[in-house]
Amino acid sequence: MISVPARPYPYPLDPARTALVVIDMQRDFIEPGGFGDSLGNDVGRLAAIIPTTAALLGLFRAQGWPVIHTREAHRPDLSDCPPSKIRRGNPRLKIGEVGAMGRLLVTGEPGNQIVDALAPIAGELVVDKPGKGMFWSTGLNERLAGLGISHLVFAGVTTEVCVQTSMREANDRGYECLLIEDATESYFPEFKAATIKMIAAQGGIVGWVTPLSELAQAVGAAA
């Protein structure tokens, strides 16, 4: 076991049973002309974590530990997208409509792809999820069980929506969850701050939180 300095107390990382989950680092949320932009958000806030997230990916790849990427993505006929989700938020362009990078949040469209700097490599699992959480209607829990995974390290966007939902889902399924706080971001800084407090509250009711530097140092010291 590797003891990683974290809040609310050190995170016990099991190298043989740990995977990284990078949530929704896709162009539709991070680049101008995508879905996040259509909601009136400053997408530059999310783009700013790309270097740290790339370094986190590099750390896991160097160790040969599993990596999972998720994308919020819907079928071209939108049969897996509730009408209430399409209506919600009053965006300039709705899910499924054509934007600067193709149809928003639709599988296979240019905007639905993970940004180039964080692109999956051979052997890494890519999960298209129709909801906020990474387990609903994806079969991911069974795939993680098949790999013997019990510990999940989280990064990605947005902190208070898809990242937090996925962490809470993982927590309910018995996974030990660690969020890398400088490899996650929100369009709203106060939402990120509140989510981080909620995750680590009451003795880590959802999981642990730490910066990449602490994880990297702990892994390096154990090598």
Residues serving a catalytic function are 24, 129, 162
Q: Which residues contact 181 (CB under 8 A, 6 or more apart)?
A: 196, 209, 210, 211
String of DSSP letters for the chain: -EEE--BSS-EEE-GGGEEEEEE--BHHHHSTTSHHHHTT--THHHHTTHHHHHHHHHHHHHHT--EEEEEE-B-TT-TTS-HHHHHTT--SS-TTSEEBTEETTBTTSGGGSBPGGG---TT-EEEEESSSSSSTTT-HHHHHHHHT--EEEEEEE-IIIIIHHHHHHHHHTT-EEEEEEEEEE-SSHHHHHHHHHHHHHHHHSS-EEE-HHHHHHHHHHH-
**Two structure tokens written together for 95:** 């899910």
Given the DSSP bridges, would you call strands 176-185 and 208-210 parallel, antiparallel or unpaired?
Answer: parallel
